[in-house]
Structure 1
Protein backbone atom coordinates (compact mmCIF):
# COMPACT_ATOMS: atom_id res chain seq x y z
CA UNK A 1 0.00 0.00 0.00
CA UNK A 2 1.28 3.45 -0.91
CA UNK A 3 0.51 6.53 1.16
CA UNK A 4 0.35 10.09 -0.01
CA UNK A 5 1.52 13.00 2.05
CA UNK A 6 -0.62 14.20 4.94
CA UNK A 7 -1.90 17.49 3.46
CA UNK A 8 -3.59 16.11 0.28
CA UNK A 9 -5.19 13.31 2.31
CA UNK A 10 -6.73 15.75 4.77
CA UNK A 11 -7.93 18.07 2.01
CA UNK A 12 -9.69 15.19 0.25
CA UNK A 13 -11.34 14.05 3.48
CA UNK A 14 -12.50 17.54 4.39
CA UNK A 15 -14.01 18.14 0.94
CA UNK A 16 -15.97 14.90 1.15
CA UNK A 17 -17.10 15.66 4.69
CA UNK A 18 -18.30 19.17 3.79
CA UNK A 19 -20.11 17.83 0.75
CA UNK A 20 -22.07 15.41 2.90
CA UNK A 21 -22.77 17.92 5.68
CA UNK A 22 -23.95 20.61 3.22
CA UNK A 23 -27.69 21.38 3.72
CA UNK A 24 -29.90 19.39 1.42
CA UNK A 25 -32.83 20.69 -0.61
CA UNK A 26 -36.28 20.50 0.79
CA UNK A 27 -37.86 17.13 0.22
CA UNK A 28 -34.63 15.21 0.35
CA UNK A 29 -34.29 12.83 3.28
CA UNK A 30 -31.05 12.61 5.15
CA UNK A 31 -30.31 9.04 6.21
CA UNK A 32 -28.36 7.89 9.22
CA UNK A 33 -25.44 6.94 6.99
CA UNK A 34 -25.12 10.55 5.86
CA UNK A 35 -23.94 11.47 9.34
CA UNK A 36 -21.76 8.39 9.90
CA UNK A 37 -19.90 8.51 6.59
CA UNK A 38 -17.99 11.76 7.26
CA UNK A 39 -17.00 10.53 10.72
CA UNK A 40 -15.69 7.28 9.23
CA UNK A 41 -13.91 9.25 6.52
CA UNK A 42 -12.31 11.51 9.10
CA UNK A 43 -11.10 8.49 11.13
CA UNK A 44 -9.77 6.77 8.01
CA UNK A 45 -7.94 9.90 6.92
CA UNK A 46 -6.41 10.27 10.35
CA UNK A 47 -5.31 6.61 10.28
CA UNK A 48 -3.78 6.84 6.81
CA UNK A 49 -2.01 10.10 7.59
CA UNK A 50 -0.60 8.74 10.85
CA UNK A 51 0.60 5.59 9.10
CA UNK A 52 2.24 7.59 6.32
CA UNK A 53 3.99 9.84 8.85
CA UNK A 54 5.19 6.86 10.89
CA UNK A 55 6.37 4.92 7.85
CA UNK A 56 8.32 7.90 6.46
CA UNK A 57 8.67 6.18 3.13
CA UNK A 58 9.49 2.72 4.53
CA UNK A 59 7.46 -0.46 4.97
CA UNK A 60 5.89 -0.74 8.43
CA UNK A 61 5.98 -4.54 8.39
CA UNK A 62 9.52 -4.93 7.13
CA UNK A 63 11.05 -8.36 7.83
CA UNK A 64 13.93 -7.79 10.25
CA UNK A 65 15.23 -11.36 10.20
CA UNK A 66 18.02 -10.57 7.70
CA UNK A 67 19.25 -7.75 9.96
CA UNK A 68 19.15 -10.08 12.97
CA UNK A 69 21.10 -12.76 11.08
CA UNK A 70 23.69 -10.18 10.03
CA UNK A 71 23.96 -8.96 13.62
CA UNK A 72 24.63 -12.51 14.84
CA UNK A 73 27.25 -13.01 12.12
CA UNK A 74 29.00 -9.76 13.04
CA UNK A 75 29.03 -10.67 16.74
CA UNK A 76 30.42 -14.11 15.95
CA UNK A 77 33.20 -12.66 13.80
CA UNK A 78 34.12 -10.22 16.56
CA UNK A 79 34.17 -13.07 19.08
CA UNK A 80 36.46 -15.11 16.82
CA UNK A 81 38.81 -12.15 16.49
CA UNK A 82 38.94 -11.68 20.25
CA UNK A 83 39.53 -15.40 20.82
CA UNK A 84 42.42 -15.25 18.36
CA UNK A 85 43.84 -12.18 20.07
CA UNK A 86 43.49 -13.84 23.50
CA UNK A 87 45.29 -16.95 22.26
CA UNK A 88 48.16 -14.82 20.95
CA UNK A 89 48.43 -12.97 24.28
CA UNK A 90 48.45 -16.26 26.23
CA UNK A 91 51.22 -17.54 23.98
CA UNK A 92 53.27 -14.39 24.63
CA UNK A 93 52.76 -14.68 28.39
CA UNK A 94 53.79 -18.35 28.30
CA UNK A 95 56.91 -17.54 26.28
CA UNK A 96 57.89 -14.73 28.63
CA UNK A 97 57.38 -16.87 31.73
CA UNK A 98 59.40 -19.67 30.16
CA UNK A 99 62.25 -17.25 29.44
CA UNK A 100 62.07 -15.85 32.96
CA UNK A 101 62.09 -19.38 34.45
CA UNK A 102 65.57 -19.93 32.98
CA UNK A 103 67.02 -17.35 35.38
CA UNK A 104 64.61 -17.62 38.33
CA UNK A 105 64.43 -20.86 40.31
CA UNK A 106 61.03 -20.29 42.03
CA UNK A 107 59.40 -19.53 38.67
CA UNK A 108 61.02 -22.62 37.18
CA UNK A 109 59.68 -24.84 39.97
CA UNK A 110 56.20 -23.34 39.62
CA UNK A 111 56.19 -24.01 35.89
CA UNK A 112 57.31 -27.58 36.45
CA UNK A 113 54.43 -28.16 38.86
CA UNK A 114 52.00 -26.60 36.40
CA UNK A 115 53.33 -28.65 33.48
CA UNK A 116 52.83 -31.84 35.51
CA UNK A 117 49.12 -31.01 35.84
CA UNK A 118 48.51 -29.78 32.29
CA UNK A 119 47.46 -33.19 30.99
CA UNK A 120 44.97 -33.77 33.80
CA UNK A 121 43.57 -30.26 33.34
CA UNK A 122 43.05 -30.83 29.62
CA UNK A 123 45.71 -28.46 28.27
CA UNK A 124 47.52 -31.14 26.26
CA UNK A 125 46.20 -33.25 23.39
CA UNK A 126 45.49 -36.89 24.15
CA UNK A 127 45.18 -39.82 21.78
CA UNK A 128 44.22 -43.48 21.97
CA UNK A 129 41.20 -45.80 21.72
CA UNK A 130 37.84 -44.34 22.52
CA UNK A 131 34.18 -43.98 21.65
CA UNK A 132 32.23 -41.44 19.59
CA UNK A 133 28.53 -40.82 20.24
CA UNK A 134 26.41 -38.79 17.81
CA UNK A 135 23.01 -37.30 18.67
CA UNK A 136 20.76 -35.80 16.01
CA UNK A 137 17.33 -34.22 15.65
CA UNK A 138 14.51 -36.15 14.04
CA UNK A 139 13.70 -35.66 10.37
CA UNK A 140 9.99 -35.85 11.19
CA UNK A 141 7.78 -32.78 11.57
CA UNK A 142 4.92 -32.31 14.05
CA UNK A 143 2.22 -32.45 11.36
CA UNK A 144 0.21 -35.31 12.81
CA UNK A 145 -2.82 -34.65 14.98
CA UNK A 146 -4.16 -36.52 17.96
CA UNK A 147 -3.19 -37.11 21.58
CA UNK A 148 -0.13 -39.18 20.63
CA UNK A 149 1.15 -36.80 17.94
CA UNK A 150 4.77 -35.66 18.52
CA UNK A 151 5.46 -32.12 19.65
CA UNK A 152 8.40 -29.94 18.67
CA UNK A 153 10.22 -30.80 21.90
CA UNK A 154 9.93 -34.52 21.09
CA UNK A 155 11.86 -34.17 17.84
CA UNK A 156 15.00 -32.31 18.92
CA UNK A 157 18.06 -33.05 21.06
CA UNK A 158 17.95 -31.29 24.41
CA UNK A 159 20.61 -30.15 26.85
CA UNK A 160 19.75 -33.00 29.20
CA UNK A 161 20.34 -35.55 26.43
CA UNK A 162 23.85 -34.27 25.72
CA UNK A 163 24.61 -33.99 29.44
CA UNK A 164 23.42 -37.57 30.04
CA UNK A 165 25.86 -38.90 27.43
CA UNK A 166 28.72 -36.78 28.81
CA UNK A 167 28.11 -37.93 32.39
CA UNK A 168 27.86 -41.58 31.34
CA UNK A 169 31.16 -41.40 29.44
CA UNK A 170 32.90 -39.86 32.44
CA UNK A 171 31.39 -42.57 34.64
CA UNK A 172 32.65 -45.19 32.18
CA UNK A 173 36.26 -44.10 32.71
CA UNK A 174 36.78 -41.47 30.00
CA UNK A 175 40.21 -39.86 30.29
CA UNK A 176 39.53 -36.95 27.94
CA UNK A 177 36.52 -35.72 26.02
CA UNK A 178 35.51 -33.29 23.29
CA UNK A 179 32.14 -32.05 22.07
CA UNK A 180 32.06 -30.89 18.46
CA UNK A 181 35.88 -31.07 18.51
CA UNK A 182 36.03 -28.64 21.47
CA UNK A 183 37.90 -30.00 24.50
CA UNK A 184 35.75 -30.41 27.61
CA UNK A 185 37.41 -29.54 30.93
CA UNK A 186 36.24 -29.33 34.53
CA UNK A 187 34.79 -25.85 34.05
CA UNK A 188 32.95 -26.64 30.80
CA UNK A 189 29.17 -26.11 30.82
CA UNK A 190 26.89 -27.72 28.24
CA UNK A 191 23.92 -25.49 27.40
CA UNK A 192 21.31 -25.66 24.67
CA UNK A 193 19.54 -22.64 23.19
CA UNK A 194 16.62 -23.93 21.17
CA UNK A 195 18.04 -26.79 19.15
CA UNK A 196 21.59 -25.37 19.13
CA UNK A 197 24.44 -26.17 21.50
CA UNK A 198 26.38 -23.44 23.30
CA UNK A 199 29.86 -24.44 24.48
CA UNK A 200 32.67 -22.05 25.47
CA UNK A 201 30.99 -19.17 23.63
CA UNK A 202 30.58 -21.13 20.39
CA UNK A 203 27.25 -22.17 18.88
CA UNK A 204 26.79 -25.55 17.18
CA UNK A 205 23.90 -27.11 15.32
CA UNK A 206 23.00 -30.82 15.34
CA UNK A 207 24.17 -33.48 14.84
CA UNK A 208 26.17 -33.25 18.08
CA UNK A 209 29.33 -35.38 18.19
CA UNK A 210 30.88 -36.39 21.52
CA UNK A 211 34.26 -38.15 21.49
CA UNK A 212 35.87 -39.69 24.58
CA UNK A 213 39.28 -41.34 25.09
CA UNK A 214 39.14 -44.49 27.19
CA UNK A 215 38.23 -48.17 27.18
CA UNK A 216 35.37 -48.40 24.64
CA UNK A 217 33.51 -51.37 26.14
CA UNK A 218 33.48 -49.87 29.63
CA UNK A 219 32.04 -46.61 28.28
CA UNK A 220 29.41 -48.49 26.26
CA UNK A 221 28.29 -50.33 29.39
CA UNK A 222 28.05 -47.01 31.22
CA UNK A 223 25.89 -45.62 28.42
CA UNK A 224 23.59 -48.65 28.56
CA UNK A 225 23.09 -48.27 32.32
CA UNK A 226 22.45 -44.50 32.19
CA UNK A 227 18.77 -43.63 32.74
CA UNK A 228 19.03 -40.45 30.67
CA UNK A 229 20.60 -42.28 27.73
CA UNK A 230 17.95 -45.00 27.97
CA UNK A 231 15.21 -42.38 27.73
CA UNK A 232 16.84 -40.84 24.66
CA UNK A 233 17.15 -44.25 23.01
CA UNK A 234 13.44 -44.80 23.63
CA UNK A 235 12.75 -41.46 21.95
CA UNK A 236 14.89 -42.62 19.02
CA UNK A 237 12.50 -45.52 18.46
CA UNK A 238 9.36 -43.43 19.02
CA UNK A 239 10.19 -40.19 17.20
CA UNK A 240 13.07 -40.98 14.84
CA UNK A 241 15.85 -39.14 16.67
CA UNK A 242 19.43 -40.03 15.73
CA UNK A 243 21.79 -41.97 18.00
CA UNK A 244 24.98 -43.80 17.00
CA UNK A 245 27.99 -45.19 18.84
CA UNK A 246 31.28 -45.66 17.01
CA UNK A 247 34.26 -47.48 18.55
CA UNK A 248 37.50 -45.63 17.77
CA UNK A 249 40.74 -47.56 17.57
CA UNK A 250 42.86 -44.45 17.66
CA UNK A 251 41.38 -40.98 18.00
CA UNK A 252 42.86 -37.68 19.15
CA UNK A 253 41.18 -35.20 21.46
CA UNK A 254 42.88 -31.85 21.02
CA UNK A 255 44.07 -29.66 23.86
CA UNK A 256 41.87 -27.02 25.40
CA UNK A 257 42.92 -23.61 24.10
CA UNK A 258 40.45 -21.29 25.82
CA UNK A 259 40.60 -19.25 28.99
CA UNK A 260 41.14 -21.06 32.29
CA UNK A 261 40.00 -18.18 34.53
CA UNK A 262 37.56 -19.10 37.29
CA UNK A 263 34.71 -16.75 38.23
CA UNK A 264 33.87 -18.65 41.42
CA UNK A 265 34.90 -21.85 43.18
CA UNK A 266 34.17 -23.75 46.37
CA UNK A 267 36.28 -26.25 48.30
CA UNK A 268 34.47 -29.57 48.59
CA UNK A 269 34.37 -31.32 51.95
Structure 2
Protein backbone atom coordinates (compact mmCIF):
# COMPACT_ATOMS: atom_id res chain seq x y z
CA UNK A 1 0.00 0.00 0.00
CA UNK A 2 1.37 3.35 -1.09
CA UNK A 3 1.70 6.27 1.29
CA UNK A 4 -0.81 9.09 0.61
CA UNK A 5 0.67 11.97 -1.37
CA UNK A 6 1.95 14.88 0.62
CA UNK A 7 0.31 18.34 0.41
CA UNK A 8 3.17 19.69 -1.72
CA UNK A 9 2.74 16.85 -4.21
CA UNK A 10 -1.01 17.47 -4.43
CA UNK A 11 -0.50 21.16 -5.26
CA UNK A 12 2.22 20.33 -7.79
CA UNK A 13 -0.08 17.90 -9.60
CA UNK A 14 -2.93 20.42 -9.57
CA UNK A 15 -0.77 23.10 -11.12
CA UNK A 16 0.35 20.68 -13.82
CA UNK A 17 -3.27 19.83 -14.69
CA UNK A 18 -4.13 23.51 -14.80
CA UNK A 19 -1.18 24.18 -17.09
CA UNK A 20 -2.58 21.68 -19.63
CA UNK A 21 -5.74 23.78 -20.05
CA UNK A 22 -3.99 27.19 -20.16
CA UNK A 23 -3.37 28.69 -23.59
CA UNK A 24 0.25 29.34 -24.41
CA UNK A 25 1.35 32.88 -23.64
CA UNK A 26 1.44 35.20 -26.65
CA UNK A 27 4.63 37.06 -27.46
CA UNK A 28 2.67 40.31 -27.13
CA UNK A 29 1.97 39.63 -23.48
CA UNK A 30 5.58 40.36 -22.75
CA UNK A 31 5.10 43.91 -24.02
CA UNK A 32 2.04 44.68 -21.88
CA UNK A 33 4.10 45.97 -18.93
CA UNK A 34 6.18 48.13 -21.29
CA UNK A 35 3.05 49.59 -22.94
CA UNK A 36 1.53 50.34 -19.56
CA UNK A 37 4.76 52.04 -18.46
CA UNK A 38 4.88 54.16 -21.66
CA UNK A 39 1.22 55.17 -21.25
CA UNK A 40 1.84 56.23 -17.68
CA UNK A 41 4.88 58.27 -18.75
CA UNK A 42 2.82 59.94 -21.50
CA UNK A 43 0.01 60.85 -19.12
CA UNK A 44 2.50 62.25 -16.60
CA UNK A 45 4.26 64.34 -19.26
CA UNK A 46 0.94 65.72 -20.58
CA UNK A 47 -0.14 66.67 -17.08
CA UNK A 48 3.12 68.53 -16.39
CA UNK A 49 2.97 70.29 -19.78
CA UNK A 50 -0.67 71.36 -19.38
CA UNK A 51 -0.03 72.64 -15.85
CA UNK A 52 -3.74 72.66 -15.11
CA UNK A 53 -4.84 73.98 -18.54
CA UNK A 54 -6.49 72.27 -21.50
CA UNK A 55 -3.96 71.31 -24.17
CA UNK A 56 -6.67 71.16 -26.87
CA UNK A 57 -8.28 74.43 -25.88
CA UNK A 58 -9.74 76.45 -28.77
CA UNK A 59 -7.25 79.23 -29.57
CA UNK A 60 -9.64 81.32 -31.66
CA UNK A 61 -10.84 83.56 -28.80
CA UNK A 62 -7.21 84.30 -27.89
CA UNK A 63 -6.40 85.08 -31.54
CA UNK A 64 -9.35 87.48 -31.72
CA UNK A 65 -8.11 89.15 -28.54
CA UNK A 66 -4.63 89.57 -30.05
CA UNK A 67 -6.12 91.12 -33.21
CA UNK A 68 -8.22 93.55 -31.17
CA UNK A 69 -5.25 94.52 -28.99
CA UNK A 70 -3.05 95.14 -32.05
CA UNK A 71 -5.80 97.18 -33.69
CA UNK A 72 -6.11 99.34 -30.58
CA UNK A 73 -2.33 99.73 -30.50
CA UNK A 74 -2.26 100.87 -34.13
CA UNK A 75 -5.08 103.35 -33.48
CA UNK A 76 -3.25 104.80 -30.48
CA UNK A 77 0.01 105.04 -32.46
CA UNK A 78 -1.74 106.84 -35.32
CA UNK A 79 -3.32 109.31 -32.92
CA UNK A 80 0.08 109.94 -31.32
CA UNK A 81 1.61 110.47 -34.78
CA UNK A 82 -1.06 113.04 -35.64
CA UNK A 83 -0.39 114.91 -32.40
CA UNK A 84 3.36 114.95 -33.03
CA UNK A 85 2.88 116.11 -36.63
CA UNK A 86 0.65 118.94 -35.44
CA UNK A 87 3.26 119.95 -32.84
CA UNK A 88 6.03 119.95 -35.47
CA UNK A 89 3.93 122.07 -37.83
CA UNK A 90 3.08 124.51 -35.05
CA UNK A 91 6.74 125.00 -34.14
CA UNK A 92 7.76 125.25 -37.80
CA UNK A 93 5.13 127.93 -38.44
CA UNK A 94 6.35 129.85 -35.41
CA UNK A 95 9.95 129.77 -36.65
CA UNK A 96 8.89 130.68 -40.20
CA UNK A 97 7.56 134.02 -38.96
CA UNK A 98 11.08 135.13 -37.99
CA UNK A 99 13.36 132.95 -40.16
CA UNK A 100 13.41 133.62 -43.92
CA UNK A 101 14.92 130.29 -45.14
CA UNK A 102 12.50 128.25 -43.02
CA UNK A 103 9.58 130.30 -44.32
CA UNK A 104 10.68 129.70 -47.92
CA UNK A 105 11.00 125.94 -47.43
CA UNK A 106 7.62 125.79 -45.65
CA UNK A 107 5.93 127.56 -48.53
CA UNK A 108 7.59 125.24 -51.05
CA UNK A 109 6.45 122.18 -49.07
CA UNK A 110 2.88 123.49 -48.89
CA UNK A 111 2.81 123.86 -52.67
CA UNK A 112 3.76 120.19 -53.10
CA UNK A 113 1.32 118.81 -50.52
CA UNK A 114 -1.72 118.53 -52.86
CA UNK A 115 0.25 116.55 -55.47
CA UNK A 116 1.72 114.34 -52.74
CA UNK A 117 -1.74 113.58 -51.33
CA UNK A 118 -1.31 115.35 -48.00
CA UNK A 119 -4.36 117.57 -48.45
CA UNK A 120 -8.01 116.60 -48.89
CA UNK A 121 -9.39 116.80 -52.41
CA UNK A 122 -12.93 116.90 -53.75
CA UNK A 123 -14.51 116.71 -57.18
CA UNK A 124 -16.30 114.35 -59.59
CA UNK A 125 -15.27 110.74 -59.58
CA UNK A 126 -16.23 107.09 -59.44
CA UNK A 127 -16.92 104.60 -56.63
CA UNK A 128 -16.46 100.83 -57.08
CA UNK A 129 -17.94 98.39 -54.56
CA UNK A 130 -16.69 94.80 -54.31
CA UNK A 131 -18.45 92.25 -52.09
CA UNK A 132 -18.40 88.55 -51.23
CA UNK A 133 -21.16 86.29 -52.51
CA UNK A 134 -24.30 86.00 -50.36
CA UNK A 135 -25.28 82.71 -48.65
CA UNK A 136 -25.74 79.79 -51.02
CA UNK A 137 -28.40 80.11 -53.69
CA UNK A 138 -29.69 77.62 -56.23
CA UNK A 139 -28.12 79.52 -59.14
CA UNK A 140 -24.53 78.54 -58.35
CA UNK A 141 -22.63 75.60 -59.85
CA UNK A 142 -22.49 72.49 -57.65
CA UNK A 143 -18.67 72.31 -57.73
CA UNK A 144 -18.18 75.82 -56.30
CA UNK A 145 -15.21 76.26 -53.92
CA UNK A 146 -15.08 78.61 -50.91
CA UNK A 147 -12.36 80.67 -52.63
CA UNK A 148 -14.76 81.33 -55.52
CA UNK A 149 -17.15 83.18 -53.23
CA UNK A 150 -14.89 85.87 -51.72
CA UNK A 151 -13.08 88.99 -52.92
CA UNK A 152 -9.34 88.45 -53.17
CA UNK A 153 -6.35 90.78 -53.01
CA UNK A 154 -5.88 90.55 -56.76
CA UNK A 155 -9.45 91.71 -57.34
CA UNK A 156 -9.00 94.85 -55.25
CA UNK A 157 -5.59 95.52 -56.80
CA UNK A 158 -7.02 95.15 -60.32
CA UNK A 159 -9.65 97.83 -59.63
CA UNK A 160 -7.09 100.17 -58.01
CA UNK A 161 -4.64 99.81 -60.90
CA UNK A 162 -7.38 100.37 -63.47
CA UNK A 163 -8.52 103.56 -61.75
CA UNK A 164 -4.96 104.90 -61.68
CA UNK A 165 -4.63 103.99 -65.35
CA UNK A 166 -7.89 105.83 -66.04
CA UNK A 167 -6.42 109.07 -64.73
CA UNK A 168 -7.49 109.06 -61.06
CA UNK A 169 -6.17 112.16 -59.29
CA UNK A 170 -6.83 110.88 -55.76
CA UNK A 171 -8.13 107.63 -54.34
CA UNK A 172 -9.42 106.14 -51.08
CA UNK A 173 -10.15 102.58 -49.98
CA UNK A 174 -12.68 102.21 -47.17
CA UNK A 175 -12.47 105.98 -46.69
CA UNK A 176 -8.67 105.90 -46.22
CA UNK A 177 -6.51 107.91 -48.65
CA UNK A 178 -4.08 105.75 -50.61
CA UNK A 179 -1.19 106.69 -52.86
CA UNK A 180 0.40 104.92 -55.79
CA UNK A 181 2.89 103.43 -53.28
CA UNK A 182 0.22 102.12 -50.87
CA UNK A 183 0.19 98.34 -50.45
CA UNK A 184 -3.10 96.47 -50.79
CA UNK A 185 -3.01 93.18 -48.88
CA UNK A 186 -5.72 90.68 -47.96
CA UNK A 187 -5.68 88.35 -44.96
CA UNK A 188 -8.30 85.70 -45.62
CA UNK A 189 -11.33 87.65 -46.81
CA UNK A 190 -10.32 90.82 -44.95
CA UNK A 191 -8.33 93.78 -46.22
CA UNK A 192 -5.19 95.00 -44.43
CA UNK A 193 -4.54 98.66 -45.14
CA UNK A 194 -2.17 100.95 -43.22
CA UNK A 195 -2.22 98.65 -40.19
CA UNK A 196 -6.02 98.32 -40.00
CA UNK A 197 -8.23 95.41 -40.97
CA UNK A 198 -11.42 95.92 -43.00
CA UNK A 199 -14.16 93.47 -43.89
CA UNK A 200 -16.10 93.38 -47.16
CA UNK A 201 -17.76 95.04 -48.93
CA UNK A 202 -14.66 96.91 -50.11
CA UNK A 203 -15.40 100.45 -51.31
CA UNK A 204 -12.88 102.18 -53.60
CA UNK A 205 -13.45 105.83 -54.53
CA UNK A 206 -11.41 107.85 -57.00
CA UNK A 207 -11.56 111.48 -58.15
CA UNK A 208 -11.16 112.05 -61.87
CA UNK A 209 -13.01 111.73 -65.16
CA UNK A 210 -15.69 109.05 -64.52
CA UNK A 211 -15.93 108.13 -68.20
CA UNK A 212 -12.18 107.58 -68.59
CA UNK A 213 -11.99 105.52 -65.38
CA UNK A 214 -14.96 103.34 -66.40
CA UNK A 215 -13.29 102.68 -69.73
CA UNK A 216 -10.09 101.68 -67.93
CA UNK A 217 -12.05 99.31 -65.71
CA UNK A 218 -13.66 97.75 -68.77
CA UNK A 219 -10.26 97.25 -70.41
CA UNK A 220 -8.68 95.60 -67.34
CA UNK A 221 -8.22 91.82 -67.61
CA UNK A 222 -8.35 91.46 -63.81
CA UNK A 223 -11.62 93.38 -63.54
CA UNK A 224 -13.15 91.34 -66.39
CA UNK A 225 -12.25 88.11 -64.58
CA UNK A 226 -13.94 89.38 -61.43
CA UNK A 227 -17.05 90.33 -63.42
CA UNK A 228 -17.14 86.78 -64.79
CA UNK A 229 -17.07 85.51 -61.20
CA UNK A 230 -19.89 87.93 -60.39
CA UNK A 231 -22.00 86.30 -63.09
CA UNK A 232 -21.21 82.71 -62.09
CA UNK A 233 -20.93 82.96 -58.30
CA UNK A 234 -23.04 86.03 -57.48
CA UNK A 235 -20.22 88.15 -56.04
CA UNK A 236 -20.95 91.87 -55.74
CA UNK A 237 -19.70 94.50 -58.17
CA UNK A 238 -21.10 98.01 -58.53
CA UNK A 239 -19.88 101.22 -60.19
CA UNK A 240 -21.35 104.56 -59.07
CA UNK A 241 -20.60 107.89 -60.74
CA UNK A 242 -19.97 110.63 -58.16
CA UNK A 243 -20.80 114.26 -58.95
CA UNK A 244 -18.78 115.60 -56.02
CA UNK A 245 -16.92 113.37 -53.59
CA UNK A 246 -14.25 114.18 -51.01
CA UNK A 247 -11.05 112.16 -50.60
CA UNK A 248 -9.33 112.76 -47.23
CA UNK A 249 -5.68 113.66 -46.84
CA UNK A 250 -3.09 110.89 -46.63
CA UNK A 251 -2.07 110.25 -43.01
CA UNK A 252 0.61 107.63 -43.44
CA UNK A 253 4.37 107.95 -43.65
CA UNK A 254 5.90 109.71 -46.64
CA UNK A 255 9.31 108.09 -46.24
CA UNK A 256 10.36 105.71 -49.04
CA UNK A 257 12.43 102.68 -47.99
CA UNK A 258 13.31 101.71 -51.55
CA UNK A 259 12.67 102.90 -55.10
CA UNK A 260 13.46 101.76 -58.61
CA UNK A 261 13.61 103.90 -61.73
CA UNK A 262 11.69 102.32 -64.63
CA UNK A 263 12.94 102.73 -68.16
How far the C-alpha of 1:159 sits from its partner, in A, is: 1.4
Match of 2:212 in 1: 218
Q: Gapped runs of 5+ residues in structure 1?
A: 1-23
Match of 2:168 in 1: 174
How far the C-alpha of 1:224 sits from its partner, in A, is: 1.2
Q: Gapped runs of 5+ residues in structure 2?
A: 1-13
The equivalences for 1:138-177 within 5 A come to: 138-140=133-135, 149-177=143-171
User: SS of the counterpart of 2:83?
Assistant: helix
Match of 2:224 among 191, 209, 230: 230
The equivalences for 1:109-258 within 5 A come to: 109-140=104-135, 149-258=143-252
The equivalences for 1:76-115 within 5 A come to: 76-115=71-110
Is the CA contact 1:87–1:258 (under 8 Å) kept in the aligned structure 2? no
Distance (Å, rounded) in 1 between the aligned partners of 2:24 and 2:80: 76
Match of 1:59 among 54, 60, 77: 54
CA offsets per residue over residues 2-22 of structure 1, 9 Å max, x none? Answer: xxxxxxxxxxxxxxxxxxxxx
CA offsets per residue over residues 238-266 of structure 1, 9 Å max, x none? Answer: 11111001111221111111221221223
Alpha-carbon spacing, 1:44–1:73, altered in 2? closer, same or farther (3 Å): farther
Match of 2:11 in 1: none
Distance (Å, rounded) in 2 between the aligned partners of 1:37 and 1:61: 33
Match of 1:74 in 2: 69
Q: Does 1:46 align with 2:38?
A: yes
What root-mean-square deviation, in Å, do the aligned CA atoms of Structure 1 and Structure 2 show? 2.6
Moved over 6 A (4+): none
Report the TM-score when normalising by structure 2: 0.83
Is the CA contact 2:71–2:195 (under 8 Å) kept in the aligned structure 1? no
Distance (Å, rounded) in 1 between the aligned partners of 2:59 and 2:207: 45
How far the C-alpha of 1:267 sits from its partner, in A, is: 4.3
Distance (Å, rounded) in 2 between the aligned partners of 1:47 and 1:141: 47
